[in-house]
Homo-oligomer: A and B are copies of this chain.
Amino acid sequence: MALVVQKYGGTSVGDIERIRNVAERVAKTYDAGNDLVVVVSAMSGETNRLVALANQVSEFPDSREYDVLVATGEQVTVALLAMCLKSMGYKARSYLGSQVPIVTDSSFGKARIKRISDKKIHADLKAGTIIVVAGFQGVDQDANLTTLGRGGSDTSAVALAAALKADLCEIFTDVDGVYTTDPNICNDARKIEKISYDEMLELASLGAKVLQIRSVQFAKKYNVTVHVRSSFNDTAGTLVTKEDKNMESILVSGITYAKDETKIAVMRVPDKPGIAARLLSPLADANISVDMIVQNVSEDGHTDFTFTVTKSDFKKALLITKEAAREIDAKDVLTDESIAKVSIVGLGMRNHAGVATRMFETLAKEGINIQMISTSEIKISVILDAKYSELAVRVLHDAFGLAGKDVRPE
């Protein structure tokens, strides 16, 4: 008998019919002899409805009250799912975040989990009760309701699995699992059977929006094996788990791309200490996130300083940068709004020379020019002309042998 935590997202509980389907899947897992804790999100559309109400009241609604408001979304779902299970003859009980309790800090709207009490839930599980927990929400030490931010239900599920020492955490969503790249671009993209936390973190932050990034950090920290799978079929999905030796035999696990970036280059900056800070700190003050940063080696006392920001921040970032560039006597500010970032991610590249070379050669063979390069231990990102992004993904997917059957050893 195993203790299983299952999480169902908003689409999976989008209407009463789907809630009934979830109840049947839950019942099947319970009937197979498992103890079961089910975490659910708000019915799809519900959070947006509540947010719209808040925005009718105020452009900047108070964050404490905002959490009180949106927390009702998950409360509705847990009540309906528990009702449904009970009407099917099962023992079930809903828990709000405040009833578990899932104690968080007081950062309304983006609270962080501090501790989870397992006492009441373990007692209920022992009595054969199926536990239905509201995802996304918690309570601070002064009994204020808090929420974990969009997608926080994944984090709730992984955190509960960690606190309850569950054997498995299943995240049910509307996709089959994590793919080697976007199947819309590359039709031989392949579902990954098993991936390490670190690879998943790089893939998630780069755009494979299957699992919320914080939930992966949680899973890594507490060593929770997460099974990402579809709630609409019984196919096995992707196991996100601690790395093992076999994983390293694969150079590259996945390829991601992002097209919402823009490039700003400050030309012929006097190469003195403190220049980077003087260019970047006004952007940070304006709450603009800078993604890639590249500074070339100096030439005759001057250097070029280039960085990327998202399209939505571009105009504001450009204004701020021009002002800063003038102050530090830079020669010029150049921009490019049609760029894309393509990245390859894989544990294997830590120990294998030549991965970067193979990437650059593959792109060169297609005549794709690389504008910027940035690397981490398990990731290499390049900036290139946006019109080449799909082509780049496809040729890299092929070059690193990701197509077709999963060759990763089980």
Q: Which residue of B lies closest to A68 (CB)?
A: B79
Whether A376 is near chain B, meaning CB under 8 Å from some CB there, is: no
A-side interface residues, number (CB < 8 Å): 36
Contact B53 A82 (CB under 8 A): no
With both beta carbons as reference points, the residue of chain B lying nearest to A74 in the complex is identified as: B72
A87 pairs with B68, CB closer than 8 A: no
- Bound: A54/B77 CA distance, A: 11
Contact with B along A5-32 (1 / 0, CB 8 A): 0000000000010011000000000000
Interface 1/0 per residue, A56-78 and B, CB below 8 Å: 11101110111011011001101
| Interface: A96 (CB within 8 A) | yes
A166 within 8 A of B: no
Q: Are B50's CB and A65's CB within 8 A?
A: no
Chain B positions within 8 Å of A58 at CB level: 83-84, 86-87
Contact check: which of B66, B76, B78, B94 meets A79 at CB < 8 Å?
B66
A143 at the interface (CB under 8 A from B): yes
Q: Tell me if B94 and A82 are in contact (CB < 8 A).
A: no
Cβ–Cβ contact B61 & A83, under 8 A:
yes
Assess whether A44 is interfacial by the CB under 8 Å rule: no
Contact of A57 among B19, B57, B66, B94 (CB under 8 A): B19
Min CB gap A82→B, angstroms: 5
A80 at the binding interface (Cβ < 8 Å): yes
CB-based closest 8 A-B pairs: A69-B79, A58-B87, A72-B72, A68-B79, A16-B56, A62-B86, A65-B83, A65-B79
Residues of A within 8 A of B (CB): 16, 19-20, 50, 53-54, 56-58, 60-62, 64-66, 68-69, 71-72, 75-76, 78-80, 82-84, 86-87, 93-94, 96, 98-99, 143, 145
